[in-house]
């Protein structure tokens, strides 16, 4: 994909990854993008990089605008390899470029790439002047790594938000209004649930820190640039980070050996539907655990069902519960269910996960062999 002009002097030099389907355990059925940004001023600045295998695409896109050798400043908003992967190649071309990042980013770059990077360590609200432009650095630790940072470009009212406000989607179009609001929010919610969910307090801090700044566009490190739906996305981030849930929504997640636990799941689905809830029934033989997490993002109610297999959970359910425990949803009302033949441990094991997350428990349901 060619570079995309955002402003007269600001370009997306992203790489589009149409093929990625698994992102550290998270299913990405629509691919993703690795968004880097080039800002032309008296000093030329590159904000973030791309995943290492896409280095040539990044360099090609930069060279559509200027030779890479002209870059003066490198801003590292985040060291995770999907964004920093090309840093060694770029640094080799411009070894004297000034690198701006947090202390945690410098430590992480050294530990990951086994190479010393001579960085300018930035603190909250430190600034960088490149001529007519002024960048403000807004560290956002644990949104979603210790090194994470946003960068604000005042003169263009652009917020380079890194992973915050991201979406995993690969399109030749680069902007949110070219995708449409429903699909944008679906992709952003899926991303929030699977990447950002544990860090609501840190997201709220970020929202508070950027609130004094006028923002025309949010330029994240994955997916569409936000220019048409900044207020809508900001409102969603506010709600998600507060942990707001809808009592009218429920998810039922299950796997089954011989169909008995599935009968229980469908019975519960009918009951909750009849009580007026919008219920999503998720069969883990057909849907990925990350799909289930996305559906839980705004749902107040969750039920999880598993047959007992060898005194344990079915592996798919164990994987979902382990994944959910790490993502730490809060304030849910939960119900465990499952069938068994003789020992029947699965339901108690599901409830242990619910208790660890502090969920309110509804009466569990167990069935011997067939409901």
From the list 64-72, 77-85, 105-113, 348-356, the region that binds ligand FEO by CB under 6 A is: 77-85
Q: What is the largest CA-CA distance in the chain?
A: 75
Q: Does 168 bind ligand FEO (CB under 6 A)?
A: no
CA atoms within 13 A on the CB side of 260: 17
Q: Is 80 a catalytic residue?
A: yes
Separation CA 46–CA 39 (nearest Å): 6
If binding is defined by CB under 6 A, does position 161 make contact with ligand FEO? Answer: no
Reply yes or no on whether 191 is catalytic: yes
Are the C-beta atoms of residues 9 and 66 closer than 8 Å to each other?
Answer: no
**Is 42 a residue of the active site?**
no
Q: Stretches 74-82, 135-143, 211-219, 328-336: which one binds ligand FEO (CB under 6 A)?
A: 74-82
Q: Is 168 a catalytic residue?
A: no
**Which is nearer to ligand FEO, 86 or 313 (by Cβ)?**
86
Note whether 12 binds ligand FEO by CB under 6 A. Answer: no
**Catalytic residue (choose from 133, 222, 254, 280):** 222
Sequential DSSP letters for 97-152: -EEEE-HHHHHHHHHHHSS---EEE--TT-EEE-SS-EEEEEE-TTSSSTT-EEEE
Backbone phi, psi, residue 167, to 5°: -150, 140
Q: Is 120 a catalytic residue?
A: no
Binding ligand FEO (rule: CB under 6 A), the pick from 41, 163, 176, 280 is 163
Cα separation of 135 and 133, whole Å?
7
Give the nearer residue to ligand FEO in terms of CB position, either 142 or 215: 142
Among 17, 48, 57, 80, indicate the residue that binds ligand FEO (CB under 6 A).
Answer: 80
Q: Binding of ligand FEO at residue 307 (CB under 6 A)?
A: no
- Contact region for ligand FEO (CB under 6 A) — 80-88, 203-211, 285-293, 300-308? 80-88
Phi and psi at 272, nearest 5°, equal -70, -35
Question: Interface with ligand FEO by CB under 6 A: which residues?
Answer: 78, 80, 82-83, 144-145, 163, 221-222
């Amino acid at each position: 994909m060619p570079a995309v002009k955002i402003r007269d002097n600001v370009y997306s030099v992203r790489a589009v990854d149409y093929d990625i389907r698994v992102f550290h355990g998270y299913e990405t059925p629509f691919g993703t993008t690795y968004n880097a940004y080039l800002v032309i001023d008296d000093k030329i600045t590159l904000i973030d990089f791309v995943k290492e295998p896409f280095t040539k695409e990044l360099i090609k896109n930069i060279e559509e605008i200027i030779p890479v050798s002209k870059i003066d400043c490198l801003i590292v908003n985040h060291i995770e390899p999907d964004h920093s992967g090309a840093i060694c190649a770029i640094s080799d071309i411009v070894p004297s470029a000034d690198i701006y990042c947090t202390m945690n980013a410098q430590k992480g770059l050294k530990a990951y790439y086994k190479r010393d990077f001579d960085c300018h360590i930035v603190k909250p609200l430190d600034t960088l002047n490149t001529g007519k432009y002024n960048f403000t650095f807004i560290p956002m630790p644990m949104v979603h790594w210790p090194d994470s940072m946003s960068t604000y470009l005042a003169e263009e009212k652009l917020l380079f938000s890194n992973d915050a406000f991201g979406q995993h989607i690969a399109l030749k179009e680069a902007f949110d209004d070219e995708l449409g609001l429903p699909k944008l929010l679906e992709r952003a919610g899926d991303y929030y649930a699977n990447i950002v969910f544990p860090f609501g307090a840190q997201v709220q801090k970020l929202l508070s820190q950027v609130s004094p700044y006028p923002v025309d566009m949010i330029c994240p490190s994955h997916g569409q640039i936000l220019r048409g739906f900044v207020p809508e996305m900001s409102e969603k981030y506010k709600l998600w980070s507060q942990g707001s849930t809808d009592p009218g929504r429920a998810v039922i997640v299950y796997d089954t050996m011989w169909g008995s636990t599935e009968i229980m799941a469908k019975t519960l689905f009918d009951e909750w539907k009849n009580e007026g809830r919008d219920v999503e029934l998720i069969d883990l033989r057909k849907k990925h655990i990350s799909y289930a997490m996305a559906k839980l993002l705004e749902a107040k109610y969750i039920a999880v069902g598993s047959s007992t297999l060898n005194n344990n959970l079915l592996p798919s359910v164990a994987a979902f519960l382990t994944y959910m425990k790490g993502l730490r949803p809060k304030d849910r009302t939960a119900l465990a269910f499952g069938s068994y033949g003789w020992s029947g441990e699965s339901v108690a094991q599901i409830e242990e996960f619910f208790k660890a997350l502090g969920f309110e428990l509804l009466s569990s349901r167990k069935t011997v062999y067939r409901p």
